Structure 1
């Protein structure tokens, strides 16, 4: 049996991997069910019901306005007059103020709404990938399995690289399968409880490319979890580093920079770069600045982060962390 096959079997057969993947699938299934149940295609019966309810509310508002106007006129010349505006300002509302759409469940517009669900999918799978990647190699170090493996396979970098390859390949296969099912289920939801209108070939291509960028984000998260756990030789190292980054370098740094009046505070935060990667670009605004234009007047300065820049930043972080893990694997004592 090859080393890659053995590592693949070890990854797939781990109960932690299976339970975490199953838990992630259950969360995704709950999202699908929630979107499906909360959207409805407007049928003639639903439209008639919504129209009737809007008519009732309109008639009730007209009657209330009539009563208020009568009470206002009756109160003139008494102390109670101060409780009313000028009586000629009290008039019944317009019929257009009570559209029947208010009483209809929203229809699921695939083109408008699915991109947000792709971001949700990528975020959940990235968290799963980070934890699985950290536990896959972290458990090997903490249990002594890595040392035992190197007794019969003493090539350190080959062993660690094969583990990483097995992790990334299986994460990629899992993500592609889930993404295909995710797209199909929401296309079905749009077909039965919404609309697939305006889904041209270009729109489908844009969705596929966004899902591919989501796949890359999942692989980056898995590699970072793997590299951090390998550096610390424990799963808790990667999880602790992630918590530290979120609390100290994100929440704390954001507060400090905001208090200091630093420009483009959001550009220092990881979610901004993730959004730029998935959405192809994001604009960060320095609200305390003034860029004068004879056309627009005083406008705040903006900074645009594009997906190639975000991708380069992710690649640099992955190379740094995984490269450090490989270097320590080659140079540090295994025991």
Structure 2
């Protein structure tokens, strides 16, 4: 019997794998349904209603301004005016021009596929990545804690082959979940945009960009799955992976972030892992340093910026996978199986 098929069957038969995967898919479905009901298609009725609300807002501003002008004049006559509240000339208290109150401010939320869909790929990759991490850690961690790994090595004594075959089966299973989920994610939000927004201005370039972003999201899911698997194998227990990620995120990320901010370190976000994961999905993250400025021709001050690109993120993710997976393979080969 093929070891790969056996491990793949073992993965799919585990109740934890099924429940965790189902939970992740239900969360994704909840996000999709929530976006559907929180948006609506904008037509002539919505624009007319927004214009009426803009007029109402303008009238309220006019009434409030008139009240403030009268209060200012009364305070001036009674010599009780507060210089910090009213100007010297009460006639300066005027309502804003009508054109400044735009009807667009009062339009309901609508889902523009071209402008908004790429943002939805971030929670998609994050949720499936979390599922993959936990499932991967549990898959190999349970084998170690129950003694299943030792029994398997009696049948197939090649340690690295067994471990890598388990990893291959795990990644195949996650890919079998992530790819259909990505297709349904695209289709679901296309339906949301069709019924609750707009699908206009979609070009072949926009589709290609979305596809590449989706591919990077699936790759991130596989990377997190591999890291969870490798950490649990390294510690020979599921708790090693879960405890490790909690320590890294709580101590390493939150603690480091607070320390960097207290020390006023420039580009503090550039030292945090979530920044690189987000840059991997969105292609580029632009950090701003508000303590410095670049003078412009009109005399304004623009903060200096630093771009974190998906290429830089790919180097960090590759190094993490190589180091953690390499360490687990080395430990697997060197330590006794007891």
TM-score, normalised by the number of residues in structure 2: 0.90
Q: Which of 209, 223, 226 does residue 223 from structure 1 map onto? A: 226
2:77 aligns to what SS in structure 1?
coil
Change (3 A) 1:152 1:258: same
Residue 154 of structure 1 is matched in structure 2 by 157
What is the CA-CA distance between 1:188 and the residue it aligns to? Answer: 1.1
Residue 251 of structure 1 is matched in structure 2 by 254
Residue 203 of structure 2 is matched in structure 1 by 200
Residue 55 of structure 1 is matched in structure 2 by 55
Matches of 1:93 and 1:121, distance apart in 2: 43
Give the alignment of 1:123-272 within 5 angstroms.
Answer: 123-272=126-275
Residue 78 of structure 2 is matched in structure 1 by 78
Matches of 1:296 and 1:180, distance apart in 2: 49
Give the alignment of 1:248-327 within 5 angstroms.
Answer: 248-285=251-288, 288=291, 302-327=305-330
Matches of 1:309 and 1:67, distance apart in 2: 58
256-265 vs 36-45, which deviates more? 256-265
Matches of 1:91 and 1:324, distance apart in 2: 70
1:77 aligns to what SS in structure 2?
helix
What is the CA-CA distance between 1:225 and the residue it aligns to? Answer: 0.4
Deviations 1:17-57 (A, max 9, x none): 11111111111111111111111111222333333333333
2:94 aligns to what SS in structure 1?
coil
Matches of 1:264 and 1:75, distance apart in 2: 50
User: Is contact 2:46-2:108 (8 Å) kept?
Assistant: no
Q: Which of 90, 107, 127 does residue 87 from structure 1 map onto? A: 90
Change (3 A) 1:296 1:249: farther
Change (3 A) 1:328 1:60: closer
172-181 vs 150-159, which deviates more? 150-159
User: Which runs of no fewer than 5 residues in structure 2 stay unpaired?
Assistant: none
Change (3 A) 1:106 1:155: same
29-38 vs 83-92, which deviates more? 83-92
State the number of aligned residues: 335
What is the CA-CA distance between 1:132 and the residue it aligns to? Answer: 0.7
TM-score, normalised by the number of residues in structure 1: 0.91
What is the CA-CA distance between 1:161 and the residue it aligns to? Answer: 0.8
Structural RMSD (CA): 2.6
User: Which runs of no fewer than 5 residues in structure 1 stay unpaired?
Assistant: none
299-308 vs 325-334, which deviates more? 299-308
Change (3 A) 1:234 1:198: same
Matches of 1:54 and 1:302, distance apart in 2: 37
Matches of 2:296 and 2:106, distance apart in 1: 44
1:154 aligns to what SS in structure 2?
coil
Change (3 A) 1:308 1:70: closer
